[in-house]
Amino acid sequence: MKYKYMRIQGREIAEYTNYANGVFGIFRDFEKKNVLNKEDYELFKAIDDHFAQELPWPQICNERQKVICFFKTENSEKMEKYMQPLLFLLDRYNHPYDVIYTNYPGNIVYEDDFQVAVTIDGLQYDKVDYMDKDIYDKQARK
């Protein structure tokens, strides 16, 4: 079966959506907590800069509305070469994540050539777990 949409998300809950943190949200948390070594951080920043230049940023996200984004799989070949290094980094730092494929992402409130944003009301994925503690606390890693 060919799916229309794909999302990479962690198992921790994002602060402002109260929903599973998306892949770029995970790396923003890494950035705040200084989790990545210098080389890995530079790799993430290069990928993040590429997406910032190539992918429109939905206004609805700027407004911090409770939405999540899914990539369109029809254009995934272009993005996959940039997503694979992010998945490598998640694996390197032992950060659990899920790749969600669906044809029914929810109520679409934004769409462009590469992604859709959907409202999170009523969305529920079985594999999303709440983390009891911050496993990336710098003090805990020492």
Please report, for the chain, the start and end positions of each structural domain, with discontinuous segments joined by +.
Answer: 5-125
> Does the CA dihedral 79-7-14-94 come out positive or negative?
negative
Question: Each residue of 2-40: pLDDT tens digit?
Answer: 899 999 999 998 887 888 999 999 999 999 999 999 999
pLDDT at 125 over 80: no
136 compared with 56, residue with greater pLDDT:
56
- Two tokens, residue 18: 């109260």
pLDDT value of residue 58:
73
pLDDT value of residue 122:
56
> From CA 48, how far away is CA 6, in angstroms rounded?
18
pLDDT value of residue 140:
35
pTM: 0.79
**Phi, psi (5° rounding) for residue 140?**
-70, -25
Angle of CA points 20, 22, 24, to nearest 5° = 150
Burial of residue 128, with CB atoms counted within 10 A of its CB: 0-12 exposed, 13-18 middle, 19 or more buried: middle
Question: Each residue of 39-96: pLDDT tens digit?
Answer: 999 999 999 999 888 877 777 776 667 888 999 998 777 778 888 999 999 999 999 9
Reported as a pLDDT band with limits 50, 70 and 90, residue 127 is very low
